Amino acid sequence: MSIAPAKILASLSINGSVVECAFNPNKTLLEVLREDVGLTGTKHGCEMGHCGACTVIVDDLPVLSCLTLAVESIGHEIRTIEGVARDGVLHPVQRALAESGGAQCGYCTPGIIMSAVALLEQNPAPTREDVAQGLSGNLCRCTGYTKIIEAVENASAELRSAR
Amino acid sequence: MLRLPPFEYHAATSAEEAVSLLARFGPDALPVSGGTDLYANMKQRLFTPKVLVGLRPIADLQFIAYNAVTGLALGALATLTDIADSPVVRKYYPALAQAAALISTPQLRNTGTIGGNICLDTRCNYYNQNLDWRKALNYCMKKDGDICRVAPGSPKCVAVNSSDTAPVLQAFGARVHLTSPTGTRELPIAEFFLDDGMFAWARRHDEIVTKIVIPPPAGDTRSAYRKLRLRNSFDFPILGVAAVVQLDGAGKCVAAKLVLNAVSSRPVEVSEAARALVGSALSPETIGDAADAAFRAGRPLDNTSATIPYRKRMVRVFAQRALEDAARAVPLAD
Amino acid sequence: MSDERTVGDERIVSTATNPDIDAAGFTADTKVDSILISADPHPATKPEGFSVVGKALPKTDAWSKVTGAALYADDIVLPRMLHGKLLRSTQAHARIKSVDASRAFELPGVVAVMTGADLRVKYGILPSSPDEEVLACDKVRYVGDPVAAVVADDELTAEEALELIAVEYEPLPAVMSIDAALRTDLPKLHDNPRRTNNVHKEVHLEFGDMDAGFAAAVKVFEDEFFFEGNTHAPMEQHSVVASAGADGKLTIWASTQTPHYLHRIAAQVLQMPASRIRVIAPPVGGGFGGKTEPFAHELVAAFLARKTGRPVKITLTREEVFFAHRGRHPVKMKIRTGVKSDGTITACHLQTWLDGGAYGSYGVATTYYTGALATVTYKIPAYKFDGCRVFTNKPPCGPKRGHGTTQPRFAFECHIDKIADALGLDAAEYRKRISVDANTTTVNGLRVTSCGLRECLDAAEKRSRYAEKRKMLTKGKGIGIAASAYLCGAGLAIYWNEMPHSGAIVKVDRGGGVTIYCGTSDCGQGSESMLAAIVAETLGVDVMDVSVCASDTDLTPVDLGSYSSRVTFMAGNAARQAADGVREKIAQVASEKLDVPIARIGFARRRVFDVADPAKSLSFLEAAQAAEARFGTLAAPGSYAPPRHNPDFKGSGVGPSPAYSYSVCVAEVDVDLETGEVLVERITLAHDVGRAINPDSVEGQIEGGVYMGIGEALMEESAFRGIEHKIPNLLDYKTPTSLDMPPIETIIIETNDSEGPYGAKEAGQGPLNPVIPAIANAVAHAIKGRVYATPITSDKVLRALDADGGAVLRVRRAPAHA
């Protein structure tokens, strides 16, 4: 075993629930979510901040879980892809992506959804350019972003009309 | 999965606590704010600190304050998103807001801080590689090796300062405030940056940057930042140009600063460009002369994306465009 | 014809066993404005008309992907699972003198180590080039070549253990370029007594009378191009979990596009019966050809899972994905074409040199592919092809979207534009004039059936207003066009056999649910949705009534895999045949119950009815239960093998396909004359897909192809410096971001291929090919100069402008004072 400093016993607030877990200080939020909490919906494509696949929302802002320590996340509200649908009802961004073919291989999709959900919470009526900006930290190799951007626009329209 | 090496983590809640922790653990300890640069570098084993002192919880350093007399004060932990979105920054220091908005991606700007951005490790594509990659090359002088792979004859490392905000802050004449266990000090940001890719900052190991202060804009001051990169997101600058000019009532340029970045281990201030601009109205001729001066001063090496001749050639174009942007900028109306 | 109104208005009868069935599941017709030319919606194969095919339905796996529920290989966690890491060569070319892993084994937490000596079996995806070892035994051939492996309780410990493995190398000169590989004074990567240099494969083919062809030419054009290598960079890093039961049965979950080939090669390398190995491909997080062959980490995990008796997971780092590679070959190309004064091609000679990297991979096929499809777009009466693939000390190249055809297509379409310019012809009109015709055979013996090339040219030209914009001559603004063709699956399997290329089984449950079992691997292209749509259409049920059980070698009949754009055509046909088998049984029973001739029985909206009088009907469930009562278990197999039309020459196996898709791209660019930056302002892409089973999915494939084409055209390159990959990470290897993409106008052309399932052809690869030359041609139009090598970087654009005297070195503009 690596000689690692002692594990930290901590409570993390994830998707509105308090989760108790123990982890080494060098574990990133990404690793703790996937390996200790069992939330494998958050993906990883580089672990270096170069792709956006691991995006989660911390205190209402999209951030990269691969470059955030789990220990730094104590006391903050963490939201992951598993917490986006409520009571089995999909978020409009999720539904729009599914219906428009915005998810092909689906690997970047959780990160894209976290960026898009945060974007629409901050800016309920984004322009197409705003959406492209909001998703500019998430690489996708399948879709050319076209259907993803359309889906976020559709979700934005739906959210506004529901208001 | 690329993982972080083991370390102890100590969260600091005040600058004083942070520096006393740094002093206590000595050079084996590193401070970390956003971590977007350091954690990535640690995953590549460019740093393997035994102790990390986390600055994130220091609430006192998370401010952006503007005052017409003292100017702009940026807490070291103000995020790049906050700076890009700040109404006062956008109004009085538009080049700084532009530069902050052009850094990396929304996610990294939400985490990355201004203090971290000026302490961004210098970059080189022989250096920013995984451990096994560097091993195959027998390393470089910046980490674990003896010679510079870019310029094998060079006595010092030539990794480039890749911060977008650094040249802008320097063009605005910012001062950096540092705290250590023995007290605080401040210095012009131009002196904070050192011309050595391995020792690129005047920060001592037990010091942290607490704030950055920019004087209030004098008269009709205008500014702009231009960034060369190969994609419209994610990328570090492979050339950055900050231009700050002050005009008098008649439109004559009375002060000017043109600062280049990503072509050297520290931002390069082109004083010859300022001389070409000051004393007459901004015209195609003076801007052209200033851009020529920038072209002579910018000496990129083969350690980023794109070729040397291309980056060199772009220095003139980007200097010209930054100055044109500044000249075109809407003057402040107070 | 069916009367949809009557059927639609009729209340769907619920049943006790399945009370929730109602019509709500049927998505209303979705208008898709991208379909320009629609094939007959009531073809002979489906007289009652389509109710699923042609509809833009959500993909069947969309729901699991938008919720994070989809489990990819790296998401799999098994009890007692170990984590593996590979030690990779730090030498580009060296003999291995010794490997000492003893210190690694002593590290607490390490459970097993493995070196090349543990598994000395040579293998290769193509039986003709078995030149790979699981872990290098005697020699390493590129920086990143796997040498040893460790499994430990956790990944960090495994990584630490790698540092403790001592490998002693005897360095050899590295061969890093095509030119170096052709030299005879450098060491050979692979022992081949027949060669004095590092040539891997040479191909020389000649068709028609070349001498007469060039003699008949009024003008002869000759050009040289270079296509830089690039890589797939799927978002998911390759991952595998392997587990061996106490009974000796080995299960491998791998992110692979080709579970069948992994199955075969795992059996061969591990020297165990294939019947004792089960390969499962979970959802694959992007492939693009990069996951189409067995990789060292997969075989290592399998070996060590057996050795330790514990499950083993190995997930590559992003850097390792760049090392695993199998990406686009760098190709140097020369083309010589003779034409008459009206542009008619009289003869064409193409030469290609491929930089193959360290191993064979699919390279023999790639070499043939650089020559095979040149003849499928334009009429060429005499054609000569010389191809040559070399070994170099770099990560091995292989198939990437467009496999081997992308590079020569770039060259050829640029060349055609130059010919058109020189002859004073419009580049679009010229292409129409020389286009191949449907139902013809090319000079190299390829059978062209349905062909929508002219329709694509017309549509793309019209929609983009090409003719008008082409006449505008504002320097810096450009518009360019290019065409291409692609396979719908290779005519031959990669290993010789006479069995089907695709198999499927359709089974109907007593509750009315339908399951299709098929060995396809869904890497995001939507193969599972395609299978569900074809089965649902054939049996007249809702797509959501169909479960797809795919890519599990224990459960599913073989499908060769998701490569060469074969799945819709081949697995689609197999699924269609299997569903037809079930349909026939149900139709027979329904025909008797309804007293209607069997030919008049139609299937739609969960009803089985008389096409002439839809009121006479049974529910699908009633009919299916009656059929089960009559015939027993209601299931049927289906198979597909492509027709054999191979001409009789060596190498004729590469190129033939049951059908070809056609694509035309129009690119509009704005070039900054001071910086050389190319802004793609708009892309119009017309694609002949035969029939769009799901137009949304077809659009998605086209948009993705356009995206990848833009990346390859402008920024993506596998760059090397010295002996190392210069940029093995996603920051420095540039892929376009959401801020780098132009609007894309897609146009779907349906030609209703007579052999495709419901007329369908491929869409996954073809649309990429014309994008790169269309952008190159647009840049040439914009700057009146040409860049002959990809990627078309700003630097190269400026150099082309300089050569033309057109670069703006200095603009002195009056600044607009506020």
What type of residue is B15?
A: A
Q: And the tokens for C400?
A: 């990437």
| Burial classification of residue C191, based on how many CB atoms lie within 10 Å of its CB (0-12 exposed, 13-18 middle, 19 or more buried) | exposed
Phi, psi of A86 (to 5 degrees): -115, 125
CB contact under 8 A, A82 and C65: no
Chain C CB contacts of B150 under 8 Å are none
Determine the Cα–Cα distance for residues C473 and C372; give it in Å rounded to an integer.
36
Q: And the tokens for C52?
A: 């699923």
Angle subtended by helix axes C453-464 and C427-434, to nearest 10: 160
Range C394-423 average pLDDT: 98
| Burial classification of residue C263, based on how many CB atoms lie within 10 Å of its CB (0-12 exposed, 13-18 middle, 19 or more buried) | buried
| CATH number assigned to the domain comprising residue A96 | 1.10.150.120
| B106 interface with C at CB cutoff 8 Å | no
DSSP annotation of C88 = E
pLDDT band with cut points at 50, 70 and 90 for residue C807: low
Mean pLDDT of chain C: 93
* Pairing status of strand C613-619 against strand C607-610: antiparallel
B181 pLDDT more than 80: yes
Q: And the tokens for B283?
A: 């015209």
Determine the Cα–Cα distance for residues B26 and B45; give it in Å rounded to an integer.
19
CB contact under 8 A, A104 and C526: yes
Going by C-alpha positions, the residue among C344, C392, C349, C339 that lies closest to residue C374 is C349
Nearest to B232 among C729, C739, C798 (CB): C739
**Residue A138 lies inside a defined structural domain of this protein:** yes
| B104 interface with A at CB cutoff 8 Å | yes
- Model pLDDT, residue C814: 54
Give the residue from B46, B55, B82, B107 with the most A CB atoms within 10 Å of its CB, the best one to mutate.
B107
Chain B CB contacts of C724 under 8 Å are 133, 136-137
Range B21-39 average pLDDT: 97
- Model pLDDT, residue C121: 96
Range C477-501 average pLDDT: 95
Work out whether the CA dihedral B149, C142, C285, C737 comes out positive or negative.
positive
Nearest to B136 among C90, C729, C798 (CB): C90
Q: Which CATH number fits domain B222-328: 1.10.150.120, 3.30.390.50, 3.40.50.720, 3.30.420.40?
A: 3.30.390.50
- Model pLDDT, residue C13: 27
pLDDT higher for B101 or C27? B101
Range B35-60 average pLDDT: 98
Interface of C with A in 116-155 (CB under 8 A): 153-154
| B155 interface with C at CB cutoff 8 Å | no
DSSP annotation of C436 = P
* Min Cα separation B268/chain C (Å): 21
Judgement on whether residues A12 and A38 belong to the same structural domain of the protein: yes
- Model pLDDT, residue A5: 72
**Residue A1 lies inside a defined structural domain of this protein:** no
Nearest to C66 among A39, A97, A143 (CB): A97
CB contact under 8 A, C739 and B231: yes
**Residue A51 lies inside a defined structural domain of this protein:** yes
Determine the Cα–Cα distance for residues C408 and C225; give it in Å rounded to an integer.
9
Tell me if B140 sits within 8 A of B149, measured CB to CB: yes
Judgement on whether residues A13 and A78 belong to the same structural domain of the protein: yes
- For C271, left (φ over 0), alpha (ψ -120 to 50), or beta? left
Tens of pLDDT along C218-237? 999 999 999 999 999 999 99
**Residue A3 lies inside a defined structural domain of this protein:** no
| C298 interface with A at CB cutoff 8 Å | no
C651 pLDDT more than 90: no
A42 pLDDT more than 60: yes
- Model pLDDT, residue C813: 60
Range in B50-64, C117-131, C644-658, C791-805 with the lowest mean pLDDT: C644-658
DSSP annotation of C655 = S
Chain A CB contacts of B40 under 8 Å are 48-49, 67
Judgement on whether residues A54 and A120 belong to the same structural domain of the protein: no
Tens of pLDDT along A24-36? 999 999 999 999 9
**Collapsed DSSP state (helix, strand, coil) of residue C561:** coil
C494 pLDDT more than 50: yes
* Pairing status of strand A8-14 against strand A17-23: antiparallel
Tens of pLDDT along C513-529? 999 999 999 999 999 99
Going by C-alpha positions, the residue among C70, C54, C61 that lies closest to residue C533 is C54
- Model pLDDT, residue C808: 62
Tens of pLDDT along A54-66? 999 999 999 999 9
| Edge-to-edge strands, sheet with C139-140 | C139-140, C94-100, C166-171
Interface of A with C in 65-84 (CB under 8 A): 80-82, 84
Determine the Cα–Cα distance for residues C309 and C307; give it in Å rounded to an integer.
6
Range C476-497 average pLDDT: 95
- Model pLDDT, residue B332: 75
Query: What is the CATH number assigned to the segment(s) C4-23+41-70+500-640?
Result: 3.30.365.10
Of the residues A28, A62, A83, the one at which a domain ends: A83
| C237 interface with A at CB cutoff 8 Å | yes
| Burial classification of residue C463, based on how many CB atoms lie within 10 Å of its CB (0-12 exposed, 13-18 middle, 19 or more buried) | middle
A4 pLDDT more than 70: no
Tell me if C357 sits within 8 A of C365, measured CB to CB: no
Determine the Cα–Cα distance for residues A141 and C735; give it in Å rounded to an integer.
8
Query: What is the CATH number assigned to the segment(s) B8-56?
Result: 3.30.43.10
CB contact under 8 A, A148 and C738: yes
Determine the Cα–Cα distance for residues B50 and B128; give it in Å rounded to an integer.
21
| C71 interface with A at CB cutoff 8 Å | yes
Chain A CB contacts of B56 under 8 Å are 72
| C156 interface with A at CB cutoff 8 Å | yes
Length, in residues, of chain A: 163
C794 pLDDT more than 60: yes
- Model pLDDT, residue C7: 31
DSSP annotation of A35 = I
Tell me if C372 sits within 8 A of C163, measured CB to CB: no
Going by C-alpha positions, the residue among C391, C346, C354, C396 that lies closest to residue C371 is C354
Domain boundaries, chain B: 8-56, 59-119+160-214, 222-328
Going by C-alpha positions, the residue among C85, C89, C199 that lies closest to residue C141 is C89
CB contact under 8 A, B232 and C731: no
* Min Cα separation B86/chain A (Å): 15
Please report which helix (H) or strand (E) contains residue C775, including its range: helix C771-783
Q: Which residues contact C355 (CB under 8 A, 6 or more apart)?
A: C177, C178, C181, C229, C329, C330, C331, C390, C392, C394, C397
CB contact under 8 A, C798 and B3: no
Phi, psi of B256 (to 5 degrees): -155, 145
C95 pLDDT more than 50: yes
| CATH number assigned to the domain comprising residue A78 | 3.10.20.30
Mean pLDDT of chain B: 97
A 10 A CB-CB count for C613 gives 13
| Edge-to-edge strands, sheet with C219-227 | C199-207, C383-390, C345-355, C331-339, C219-227
Of the residues A61, A83, A105, the one at which a domain ends: A83
Q: Which segments of C245-284 are extended strands (E)?
A: 250-254, 277-280
Q: In this structure, what is the dihedral angle of CA atoms A143, A146, A150, A155, given to the nearest 10 degrees?
A: 40
Interface of B with A in 43-102 (CB under 8 A): 43-44, 52, 54, 56, 81
Q: Which CATH number fits domain B59-119+160-214: 3.40.50.620, 3.30.465.10, 2.160.10.10, 3.30.70.3420?
A: 3.30.465.10
Chain C CB contacts of B123 under 8 Å are none
Chain B CB contacts of A27 under 8 Å are 4
- State the total domains in chain A: 2
Tens of pLDDT along C753-786? 999 999 999 999 999 999 999 999 999 999 999 9
- Model pLDDT, residue C812: 58
Q: Where in the sequence is the domain holding A52, given as residue range(s)?
A: 8-83
Judgement on whether residues A156 and A122 belong to the same structural domain of the protein: yes
| Burial classification of residue C80, based on how many CB atoms lie within 10 Å of its CB (0-12 exposed, 13-18 middle, 19 or more buried) | exposed
Range C536-550 average pLDDT: 97
Tell me if C518 sits within 8 A of C646, measured CB to CB: no
Tell me if C257 sits within 8 A of C291, measured CB to CB: yes
Of all residues in chain B, the one with the smallest CA distance to C88 is B132
Q: And the tokens for C757?
A: 């399932």
Of all residues in chain A, the one with the smallest CA distance to C78 is A35
- Model pLDDT, residue C803: 87
- The CATH homologous superfamily for domain C73-172+232-324 is Aldehyde oxidase/xanthine dehydrogenase, a/b hammerhead (3.90.1170.50)
* Min Cα separation C578/chain A (Å): 26
Determine the Cα–Cα distance for residues C407 and C694; give it in Å rounded to an integer.
29
| B220 interface with C at CB cutoff 8 Å | no
- Model pLDDT, residue C809: 56
CB contact under 8 A, B283 and C814: yes
- Tell me, yes or no, if the two domains C4-23+41-70+500-640 and C331-492+649-803 fold the same way: yes
CB contact under 8 A, C318 and B327: no
Nearest to B9 among A50, A63, A71 (CB): A71
> b/e string for B80-107 if b means 16 or more Cβ within 10 A?
bbbbbebeebbebbbbbbbbbbbbbbbb
CB contact under 8 A, B39 and A137: no
A 10 A CB-CB count for C343 gives 21
| B35 interface with A at CB cutoff 8 Å | yes
Tens of pLDDT along C328-353? 999 999 999 999 999 999 999 999 99
CB contact under 8 A, C817 and B328: yes
Fold of C331-492+649-803: Aldehyde Oxidoreductase; domain 4 (3.30.365)
**Residue A2 lies inside a defined structural domain of this protein:** no
Of the residues A56, A83, A110, the one at which a domain ends: A83
What type of residue is B20?
A: S
pLDDT band with cut points at 50, 70 and 90 for residue A163: confident
- Model pLDDT, residue C29: 40
**Residue A41 lies inside a defined structural domain of this protein:** yes
Between the alpha carbon of residue C540 and those of residues B177, C55, C580, the distances in Å are 74, 14, 11
The complex scores an ipTM of: 0.97
C32 pLDDT more than 80: no
